[in-house]
Amino acid sequence: MAIRFDNRVAIVTGAGGGLGRAHALALAARGAKVVVNDFGGALDGTGGAATPAEKVVAEIKAAGGDAIANAASVTDFPAVEMMVAEAWAKWGRIDILVCNAGILRDKTFAKMELADFKAVLDVHLMGAVNCCKAVWEIMRQQNYGRIVLTSSSSGLFGNFGQTNYAAAKMGLVGFMNALGLEGAKYNIHVNCLAPTAATRMTDTLMPAEVLAAMKPEAVSPAVLAMVHDGAPNRAIINAGANSFERTYVALTKGVNIPLSPESPDQVAARWDEISNRSGDLLPENAGGQGRQELTKAGINRSTRG
């Protein structure tokens, strides 16, 4: 059965172009009513205009869909609240939130100003937090919600010259893991997307032939799969060039080393054993690490940590 979003209301941030535009168009094509949010700024976050969002709304309406434009910055919580209120007033519910808005201020850490580090965290991490906070009570009350946060391989695996971007993107994974636990009993599922696509963020980073294969539209199927009724919860899905993968944060079995003056030496000496990935554990929550460690210590009790 084809995934449909009839009578669902979606908010997509950073939807004036690139990935966000592709997500918004894909959701609308399958019946969703869409808030197309885009601050309309430059790649580094400066400036601002409603025009990009309005153009995407025009595309959606021309195809027979229903959408409204919004130019709020995701860093401005009162403006985000107003965006959510407008969607609520028009359609009476909010089912889907896709946090896609982002900026780049790439430099090596040695050359980066702290203001540039903070600006990237404010948009990617706190911007997503602001949007989630603004819709959270609505989703709780309606006992339904689907949220996609946009992470990145830069955060999951690291990328030279992107300490600010990587920190924000990995921070979103932690946010997802905790928020998904809190939302589960309210049927709110929270997932992370780690996309690879040709957008204005990547057009200076990849060769032309690679960019041609990395169409934003090839990523959007992952988003639709993460926001439909049967979506998973607390998953990281990677997507690009029509390929889809999943990233796991796993815990090795490790070793137990009794505390002694030689313990640091033993940790160093047994590093390969500690790093052995056979039998990786995928903890359901943070307590999984503590439970494994206590079990190896011969103590059978649950713990949090």
pLDDT > 90: percent of the chain? 80
Mean pLDDT for the stretch of residues 224-242: 96
Encode pLDDT of 112-159 as tens digits: 999 999 999 999 999 999 999 999 999 999 999 999 999 999 999 999
Greater confidence (300 vs 4) lies with 4
* 2, part of any domain: no
Q: Indicate if 144 belongs to the active site.
A: no
pLDDT at 303 over 50: no
Residue 116 contacts residue 159 (beta carbons within 8 Å): no
Q: Which amino acid is at 191?
A: N
Catalytic member of 144, 165, 186, 248: 165
Give the domain-ending residue among 202, 229, 247: 247
* Structural domain harbouring 272: 250-305
Longest dimension (CA), the chain: 72
Based on the domain organization, do 182 and 279 belong to the same domain? no
Based on the domain organization, do 305 and 158 belong to the same domain? no
Based on the domain organization, do 261 and 196 belong to the same domain? no
pLDDT at 51 over 60: yes
pLDDT at 47 over 60: no
Based on the domain organization, do 172 and 102 belong to the same domain? yes
Encode pLDDT of 64-79 as tens digits: 999 999 999 999 999 9
pLDDT band at 50 (very low <50, low <70, confident <90, very high): low
pLDDT for 300: 75
Based on the domain organization, do 281 and 168 belong to the same domain? no
Based on the domain organization, do 115 and 237 belong to the same domain? yes
Whichever domain contains 48, its CATH number is 3.40.50.720
Q: What is the pTM of this model?
A: 0.91
Q: Which amino acid is at 247?
A: T
Greater confidence (298 vs 58) lies with 58
Give the domain-ending residue among 227, 247, 267: 247
Based on the domain organization, do 165 and 57 belong to the same domain? yes
Based on the domain organization, do 35 and 121 belong to the same domain? yes
Based on the domain organization, do 143 and 265 belong to the same domain? no
pLDDT at 214 over 90: no
